[in-house]
Amino acid sequence: MYIPAHVLPIGLALHRQLKTVVTIHDIGYMKFPEAHPLGQRIYLHLSTWLSASFATHISVISHATKRNLIEYYKVPENHISVAYPGFMPPLAIPIVFQLEALSRLGLVAKNYAVYIGTLQPRKNLARLIKAWTTIVAAFPDNPPKLVIVGKPGWGVENYAVLAQKLGLESHVIFTGFVSEELKSALLRNAGCLAYPSLHEGFGFPIVEAQSVGTPVLCSNTSSMPEVAGDSAVLVNPEDTSAIANGLVRIFRDPSLSRHLSEIGLQNSTRFTWSSCAATLLELLSGHN
């Protein structure tokens, strides 16, 4: 039996004659516990321990998660297989819609960075916003804007208030949750994707951006170097200066931007649902 989420039902765990394969996406709550609510950490730890202890085999979406399972849950290496997921490319939408969407938000194509994801501590948005003070200073005549796309998650920090305290209220735009059409318009026209997350099991926005030729800045930790390869600017997510300097490089150097666009587009082709399905089918055939 295949469980696509990380939770192996207790009844199946106790049914020792039934073979089970469980997919575990990440265990970032172990790497950065302060970035998760206590209740969520307890639930994730117990459910992951159950799967790690009783599943016949475990599928993971990155080698980074595989290493974490071995480190924290002592799962034998030969009990874990990596099946990279596919992704849904941003919608193909008319240019006129893209331009109208940018105009409504006061944006100019290629003169902004976009972040996409839930607004929560694990995504490292406080450092990203603080880094934007360097961006504004580096481009005094026409500073790029930062567009933060996503709905609020948990956490006490109000990122809009932080931007205001730093004098960035005219430079940082919060869109909230957006339609797939607007998400596509923002990704396709961004100067780069800014994604300095503290921890990711995979990092879907990275390949979504690359699939439409948008340069990427992301973290050099967890799965992100594995997913982005050499096709992104990788930075230490705990170093605000490193985030800022990486972004300045992308906006200041058109040749670097073009290079990242080209190799990122090629990199994104590595991740398809057909390839994922083939890997899982082979895995399940061996544990039936």
Q: How many Å from the N-terminal Cα to the C-terminal Cα in the chain?
A: 8
What does the pLDDT average to over 260-278?
Answer: 96
Looking at residue 13, its pLDDT comes to 63
Instruction: Reduce the DSSP state of residue 60 to 3 states and report it.
Output: strand
Domain covering 95-268 assigned CATH 1.20.120.80 in the classification = no
For residue range 169-197, list pLDDT tens digits in order.
999 999 999 999 999 999 999 999 999 99
* Residue 217: pLDDT over 90: yes
- Please choose, from the candidates 13, 31, 14, 11, the residue with its C-alpha nearest in 3D space to the C-alpha of residue 22: 13
Looking at residue 164, its pLDDT comes to 95
CA–CA dist 206, 224 (Å, integer): 8
CA–CA dist 194, 190 (Å, integer): 10
Same fold, 2-86+272-285 and 95-268: yes
Architecture of domain 2-86+272-285: 3-Layer(aba) Sandwich (3.40)
Q: Which residue has the higher pLDDT, 28 or 203?
A: 203
CA–CA dist 160, 190 (Å, integer): 21
Q: Are strands 21-24 and 2-3 parallel, antiparallel or unpaired?
A: parallel
Looking at residue 154, its pLDDT comes to 73
Sorted by where each begins, the domain ranges of the chain are 2-86+272-285, 95-268
**Position 14 confidence tier, pLDDT thresholds 50, 70, 90:** low
* Residue 21: pLDDT over 70: yes
Which residue, chain included where needed, has tokens 């596509």?
Answer: 184
